[in-house]
Structure 1
Amino acid sequence: MSSEYAVEQWMTVELSDDRVYAYLAIQPMAEPITCTLKDLEDLLSRYRVRYGVKQGILQQIAENPRRFAGKMTLIAEGEPPKAGRDGEIRMLYDTEQANKRPQENDDGTVDFKEISRIWNVRKGQLIAERIVAEEGTPGKSVSGEVLEGRRGKEAKFKIGKNVVSDGDQLALYSAMDGMMTLTDRGKINVFPIYEVNGDVDYRIGNIDFFGSVVIRGNVLPGFKVKAAGDIRVTGGVESAELEAVGSIEISAGILGHNKGMIRAGVNVKSAFIQDAQVEAGQDILVTQSIMHSQIRAGRNVICKGAKGLIIGGTVQAGEKVVARVVGNTMSTPTAIEVGVLPELRNELSTLRTQLRQLADSLDKTEKALVLLDQMAAAGQLSQDKIAMRIKLTHTKKQALEEQAASRERILEIEKTLEDTDRARVEIISIVYGGTKIVIGRYTRFVKESAPRVYFKYLDGDIAMLPNS
């Protein structure tokens, strides 16, 4: 049988759909056939297979066609095109809630309260980037044609609330201070409020948020909530730390157990305050009672609800304190101080303590220097005593400078204590003995209970006048 007949009758070339691969199909044969390498090359040429031909395989087929009968043999291989890498949205934060783990401290202990994962962002902060899809890499078919590689699929930002992108849609920025959150199948949002539907406990952990925080439950002992906006708690706060740049509102009251701190840049509003330390830049508003607490308000403390009690502790206000009842029949010591910012009054107390300590230190230093001067006059100063004398002289100079600065600052604060025109303590119902009223630099002790009065500075003293 001629080789031409064998090639035409027994062999065909088949291409893959993408034309990257060519196969030689040899039908099963009853009798041997012969063909040359040229016969096979001519066959491939008729099918326009000219690139990536496997000459070694063709040679083996030419030598023994029967061995390849009944098979599909790869005889040419082009270069498959490669698709470009798909585009992607790259978040700049780990948004996997599953990664919540307690915080490990430097000493190796674990703080189980520090598990909250809030993705705080500032206005204008970059929060996500769009990585552009890449062009594909071209390939070649077995006929030598260029096969274009598919470009990767472009990704798109799923823009939610309070986020903006640049003109090229390559970067996503926060439009406000707040919390970055993914919702609705990957929508990127920034929300100004962080809500806790329940208690702040070990499940939630401590909170530190750039916006406002709403807690629909209680804040349990030992936990901390910090907000750059406001904090609102629909339940109560017990032995916890709350700090807000704005205001703090606590519906069910504050039970401090003399632990923790409530501090607001603007106002604090609560049903009651007991055994707690509370500070506000402006007003502290209480509907029921303030019991045995340390209260400081830059402007006013108002406690005039149905009970309106202030009993025990110290209440300081820059301008005014209004209460229904102050003190009790047992004459529990209760201090009401108005007429100067609480921080200035406390600074004054600290300065006076420092002055006493400086005076004691100076006295000891001067006595030591007198002794060293006597030894120097007698020619008995050793090298170490000379060094001590130089050091003590420097210490004395430094202490005198600090003493002068403290006295100057005390005079400044005392001048502000004289400005008591707006300072006032109003008693709606009754004030009991055992109450101390401080207005500016003046103090008055209430010895007997008095109904419906107010206190103000008048003619060099604190006057108690009827409250109409």
Structure 2
Amino acid sequence: MELLKNNFFIITVDDDSKVFINVFKAGYTMTEFNSLLTKYPRINISKFLLLKQAIKEATCETVQIGELKPLVTCKISQDKMVATIHFHCSNEELNENKLLYIPKAIELLHSKRVTDGISLDVLHQQLEAKKDIVVARGVEPVNGEDSIVSYYKMSERKPTIREDGKADYFDMNFIDVVEAGEWLGEKIPPTTGKAGRTVLGSLLFPKKGKDKVLYYDKKTVKKEELENGKVVLRAVIDGVVQIENGKLSIGDHLVINGDVGVETGNINFDGSVTIKGIVQDGYSVIATKDISIMSEIGISRVKLIQSKTGDVFIKGGVFGKGVTNIVSGQDIFVKYANECTLTSKRNINVGYYAIGCTIKATNLYAHEYKGKIIGGEVEARASVTAGFIGNEMEKPTVVIVEGFDRDEIKKELEELLKNYKKAVQKTESTKMLLDNYNHSDLVENDQEYDRLRHKFDEQVTEVSNFEQSRKGLTELLNLKGDGQVSIFQKVYPETFIQIKKQTKKLKSPSKGVFYVVDKQLHID
């Protein structure tokens, strides 16, 4: 079949779509030929050297120079998500023959097994020649959403000082008390997602959302499974909400509605204690967990207030008169303190002032604007922060910071993080094994499941302990130097500051941050 003819050559195509040229007159250039091909986009030149030779020599021989492209071709992307068609003709030809060419395109799509995502709007309204046109798109799968876990929001143990024009208060929500049956947390189950399809109609399966574990103590917290798959945690007993070893639990709680005194005797309780009145002179309160004394009056000449593993909060304050001893396994929060001993394994927080006290802690925090440390002796491992130290009467005040070796702390943290990572990996592996079980009543009685569950609980505890240690080490590294004393308002003469055995006795008022680097005491 003849495709075109001019004064120099004739181009034909056979039944196998092979394109031939017969050049019977020399003088036609390749530039002219390339320009001519733009009017015939279906001609594909695959034998360029033979074409060039034929035009140059004009031997009148018939030579194959290429192939005739189909009117329309179809390409399918490697991921089978996109199908395109390409019309090998001019836009004029396409517009004149749309009613004929569109059915050919649809027939070609069907022959390529393209069945899904075909856009008829594109086929009928947005076609262009000599351009890849997207006519079908697959549907991507929608992966499932991870389960959503939420827990009872415990009050932040951070004292606040507020002013209402008449009085200041040292306030904080200290103990979170719940009754049996109260909501403690929940888990919305993961979703399965939505399947997608390729343009060839193949299903694309989504990834199911990841499930998450609810960490709770089965003795004091129960799990309810609702019809929609949602899991709700509720308190089994009345008590105090707490996190122990990374798990939500309810601790025993003793509430004294009045004072600790003759009617109650000394208190020694395994759990948390809330005293709504005061502790009378000469009496003591000992608890394994948190102790909160809520009276605004404060306490005086109390023998001992001791929390073995928790915090101590005294909303009013302490007039110790040299005999009161406050001891905490964690933190102490006190509005003010007079002539008493405060000892904490972690932090001591003073709202307004501590006068003539003996204070021992990792960190002492007195309010940066109002907090005063006057007289007495402070011993801290890492830092002391206050608004004022000493007073205008130049009452001798001793502040000693033991300090630490920053390089050793860095090494300790680095080693801890390695072990922490390993512990997390072990915990995740055990969780995967647990997830393989069908959590039915029968499974709950399975010995292997119980063994794995016990192992998992131990691993969660280990991870929780690592996390607490990490926080403590990170806090040390955030300090300046190897120990720090920060005075935001004024430090008075006769104040003695010692950090890592580097000493300074203030002879004039000052303020700033004292710290030690390379056995040198600095102030910023």
TM-score by length of 1: 0.41
Which one has the largest radius of gyration? 1
